[in-house]
Structures are given as structure tokens and as C-alpha cells.
Amino acid sequence: MGPAPSVTRLTAPEIAAHLGVPLLRGRQILAWVARGARGFEEMTDLPAALREALPAKLRLLSSEISEIRESPDSTRKLLVRLEDGELVECVLIPAETRLTLCISSQVGCPARCAFCASGMLGFTRSLLAHEIFEEFLHAAHVAGGAGEITNLVLMGMGEPLLNYDEVVAAVRRLPLGKRRITLSTVGLPDRIRRLAREGLPLNLAVSLHAPDDETRNRLVPVNRKYGIDEVVAAARDYFRETGRDVTFEYILIEGENAGPEHARRLAGLLRGGNLNVNLIPMNPVEGLPFRPPTPENVEAFRRRLEAAGIPVHVRTPRGREIDAACGQLRLRRMKTSRPPPSGGQQPVAEGPPRA
């Protein structure tokens, strides 16, 4: 006989049927889990006899925290072990008035961006909606309650739009204002436009990382399928449809995409419309040949974009001491435990299939 089902995997009617109780009880149990209850004993509006019986029939969560690391800047990275033993990461990033949670949508990543640790061990599988939701719950427990998390970004391991249905289902469950949620994608135009029609007022971040197809094909291989102009056009369509913020993420890599000519081309590509740029000096990844530019070169790149009228923000790397960048802690752990996936789990080279 297998383990008891987790509350997060069930609907309120399924919980009620499993326990043989009224539907109201299923709804109450789900509500308590969404608020961050750590145990059934906290569910004080349930009858005492039911609370005592629940641990033998249900689990709160299907996953568990495997490791927590905290850096001197108070960034905390959680390594979460899923029910099948796979590992994913989420990160709590504090600021003066915010606590942002970054979560994953897949185990590994099929996009295989050249500078990212997430895809270095290949792609294993997509997360289910309840597993994505549990990342939020684990982080909420660490943070001291669901109400402590003010913002959420789908910028962890994986490409969210390649796990579209499960990601959207998880987002709808999150007890967080949808305008405080940002979804990051390498840029899948059909799915960006589909997301714009969901009625979810999410902010969109596009991992651009290059100002032209030649550079982007090298750094972000899925670009070979769509092309940078189509990616930017889809992002502009998203803004027109939703009115929500659209940001282009641009990781600065010395000798690859951080020179004066790159800044000039990027300004020409993005000029006009409500498009913002986040410049991110690269977080070095063991095993990759890339390095960040100097602070002086980052500032020069920023000034060139601003002179062209492009809104720019330079994002300070956080948590380098704890492998906080996408996939780094999992990569370090997995290198010592098992080889990379093979066979049917090869990374995508030419880009994902169309939606």
C-alpha cells in the first residue's frame, strides 16, 4: 500500500470523498494548507476527532525540504526533494519592503541556455501543479507565513511556458495577488500570446540576453526556431493585450553580449513602447567559460541604453555564496550523486514544438 495522498494534490470534493466527510471539511482543509498550516492539529475549525484521524489518511505535502542555505545578504535557497526523489530549487530574496520568492517549473530545463546551470544535467520532467504550489508552501514556512511573501517570480529552473497547463493551474491556486507575480520565459511567441488571453494579470519577463539573432542563437538555442524579432513582437502584443509590465532580462557576459555595439543594437530593437530592461551581471557557473563584465562596463552599458530612452534597471546578483542562481545548488548536489539523464531526456537543441 502506497503513502497517503497529499492534500495539495486533491480537490475539496476529492478530500471529502477520501475521508467520508462533508464537502465543507474538504474546503476547510485546503484553506488551512493554503494559509501555511504546518500540521493538522492547527486546523482548529475541524472537529477534534477528525484532526486526530487525519495524519493516518492524508499528508499535508508530497515533497520535503532537503536543504536550506542562507547567504550573508539574507538570501535563502531551498532545495526541495519531490516525491520521486528529484530535486528542484526555490529562493527567497529580501529587499527593503519586499520578500520575493523565485520558484521552478521543471526538473532541469530543456531550453539549454549556454550560460545557465539549470540545463547542464539535461531535462528530466515538468512539475505538476501541486508540486509548484508546494514550493510556495515550503518557502512560506521558512519565511514565517504565507503573508510574508510579497512577490513571486517564475524564474527558477525550467521554462514555464513549456509546462503551460500545470503552471497556470498552480498560479491560480497561489494565495497571492496575480499582479505581484512575474512569469519569465525564453520567449515562445505562441504561448506568450496564449497567456495574454488567460485573464491572469501577470507581469511578463522575457529572457532576451542578446540584441540580434546571431548572438541569441548562440546563447539561447530556442531562438533558432522563432527569431528575435518575433519574440519581441509577441512581448509587445502581451503588453497591448494585458496592460501589464513587460521586462526584458539581459544577462551581461563579458566578450559575448556586453559591448558598446551590443548596447546600440539592443536600444534599436526595443525603442518605442512600454518595454523595460533588467541588466544582470552574470553569476559565474562552475564548468562554464563565461564571466561577468566589470562594474564599469555594466555602468557604461546602462548609460548607453538610458541615452536612447530605454528604461533600465541593474539587478544586483544575490546569494552567490550559496549557489543561488538557477540550478547551481541542484547541479552541485547531482554531480556527486548520479550521472546526467540520457535517452529520451535530451535537452532541446533547436527549440520546443509550437503550442
CA distance 282 to 42: 43
CA distance 41 to 198: 37
CA distance 124 to 107: 5
Helix (H, G, I), strand (E, B) or coil at 162: helix
Residue with cell 487525519: 54
CA distance 207 to 192: 13
CA distance 67 to 145: 19
155 close to 184: Cβ distance less than 8 angstroms: yes
- Which grid coordinates are listed for 185? 520565459
Residues 6+ apart with CB under 8 A from 152: 100, 101, 102, 103, 136, 174, 176, 180, 181, 182
CA distance 130 to 134: 6
Residues 6+ apart with CB under 8 A from 342: 122
Residues with catalytic function: 89, 326
What is the rounded (10 degree) CA torsion for 239, 241, 242, 247? -20
CA distance 237 to 241: 6
CA distance 191 to 196: 8
CA distance 34 to 175: 7
CA distance 206 to 269: 14
